[in-house]
Structure 1
Amino acid sequence: MLLTDQIGNILNIDTTPIRIISLVPSQTELLYDLGLEQTIVGLTKFCVHPIHLKGDKQIVGGTKQINLDKIKALKPDIILCNKEENTQEIVLACQAICPVHVSDIATIADCLDLIKQYGQLFNKSDNANKICETIDTNLKEFQIYIKEKSSLKVAYFIWKDPWMVAAKGTFIDHLLQLNKFENIYGNLKRYPEVDINKILQEGNPEVILLSSEPYPFKNNHVLEIGRVSNHAKTILVDGEYFSWYGSRLVQAFDYFKQLHDRL
């Protein structure tokens, strides 16, 4: 089977891979939901869903640093990476061991494409199609729900020291737009550093979202940013629903409804 991944690499797969290493937490969750738990042999320390996998499978490092010796010892048939989560150096090093599939996610359409690719790659197309159908149904229901909502100017923070936000070209920004959240940093790209003391002149958001990951924002940070944001409504949000793709999207739209009910 010839399969082209989401960055254009062509994979020549003779047989269905049965020893999988995932270097991306959201993709590990997707593998589990596709019914592939028994084929996962390695994952990262950040692969926390479902939590029991960390106790059952070999940890091969993080998303930015990996232990190549552990990976080689597992004799994987395929390694799953992501353009944003993993470095090019990691991908190249893994390609010297076995085929590597790299995802590249900026939209829900990209997510659905990835799920279907995994379905084809791992002989789980029926499961993949069911997940995609559920996501599509839930998305359509959410679009009806959000239609009458007013747009709100928002800032979505992912890091502190330095303060960093999600901007244009990210999956987070795509989901913000879906929620009718106007990203005040939408004129910037990717994950820029920003000066929170300039937040009023740079957009004066009505709502500030502080993500639970990768930086674990807490209530004290709500107070800190409130002092410079004219006390915009600041909410701690579950970053997994804004940044994890794959089967996490099945639950995401209900979470977004709950978030809007808090505004």
Structure 2
Amino acid sequence: MNKTVVDRVGRSVTFTFPPKRIVSLCPGITDTLFALKLEEKIVGRTRFCIYPKGEVETVPAVAGTKDIKLEAIHNVQPDLIIVEKEENTKEIVEELEKHFPVYVAEVQSVDDAFRMIEDMGSLTDRSEAARQLISAIHEQFESLPKVAGERVSYVIWRKPYMVVGKDTYIHSLLERMGFVNPFTEADGRYPVVTAEGFKNADLDYVLLSSEPFPFKEKHFEEFLEMMPDTEPILIDGEMFWYGPRMVEAAAYLRKQLSRFQH
């Protein structure tokens, strides 16, 4: 049967329910669909969809997050394509919706991540599995220790330096743990920051993510030159992905947070 829903940017989407051939163009959503036991219904992904390892590789990569292979997507004949507002571009949505039902999700906070999992369950007739996943994440997140308002920056890019700002899942997660992110006052969700900007931010720690730019310990020196009193820390960026990684992330973050506890 056909089902019509309103997606997270207000578009009406009509598709065959439950969908039997799904293309997901967002890594966290692809991971979520696998966690909902939909592996036999996922027929396309992006090349950045790397979880769950050992399973996702069997699904054809038909796109990046900012580029698509339209012919490859036509070849897998999806009856539903799922994208995410930040991960994918408006142009991609406009091109794909000429040919297929396209549902746009939006994740800008931890609460949005829970809502996305619930939505994926509803879209695919896996609501009970979605509830179980949300419950498992809640259970882990409730035991996260809190820090005492330390000021941090989460750096995602070099040349130019770019950091996590407002209205992002990563900022929401940092805030949930008790951190203060001074760059939420800057324009944009991923603002560019100068050396002067870092110096003026009065940071306790600078978190250097392993992705999308692969920060390493060799980059510590440039931050210590800018901010001698700020400790640089390498962070596994994949532990700040939403979806099923949130269960695994909780243990990782508990371990990382122990250094911030007084």
TM range (shorter): over 0.9
Aligned residue for 2:244, secondary structure, equals helix
Report how far residue 210 of structure 1 moved.
0.5
Mark the runs of 5 or more structure 1 residues left unpaired by the alignment. none
Task: Give the aligned partner of residue 10 of structure 1.
Answer: 12
Find the aligned partners of 1:135 and 1:93 in 2 and give their Cα distance.
35
Task: Give the aligned partner of residue 25 of structure 2.
Answer: 23
Report how far residue 120 of structure 1 moved.
1.4
Find the aligned partners of 1:140 and 1:126 in 2 and give their Cα distance.
21
Aligned residue for 1:129, secondary structure, equals helix
Q: Does 1:140 align with 2:142?
A: yes
Find the aligned partners of 1:117 and 1:51 in 2 and give their Cα distance.
23
Q: How many residues align?
A: 257
Structure 1 runs of 4+ with >6 Å offset: none
* Corresponding residue to 2:171 among 166, 170, 173: 173
Preserved CA contact (<8 Å) 2:15 2:80: no
Find the aligned partners of 1:170 and 1:177 in 2 and give their Cα distance.
11
Q: Does 1:259 align with 2:253?
A: no
Alignment of 1:206-217 (within 5 A): 206-217=204-215
Question: Greater shift after overlay, 37-46 or 192-201?
Answer: 192-201
Task: Give the aligned partner of residue 220 of structure 1.
Answer: 218
AA matched with 2:108: A
Aligned residue for 1:161, secondary structure, equals coil
Identity %: 35
Preserved CA contact (<8 Å) 2:156 2:163: yes
AA matched with 2:157: W
1:168-199, Cα deviation, whole Å (9 max, x unpaired): 11111111111111112121130111102441
Alignment of 1:85-234 (within 5 A): 85-142=87-144, 145-146=145-146, 149-188=147-186, 189-201=188-200, 203-234=201-232
TM-score under structure 2 length normalisation: 0.93
* Corresponding residue to 2:69 among 67, 70, 73: 67
Q: Does 1:34 align with 2:31?
A: no
1:119-148, Cα deviation, whole Å (9 max, x unpaired): 111111111110111122222222xx32xx
TM-score under structure 1 length normalisation: 0.93
Find the aligned partners of 1:253 and 1:116 in 2 and give their Cα distance.
20
Mark the runs of 5 or more structure 2 residues left unpaired by the alignment. none
AA matched with 1:261: S
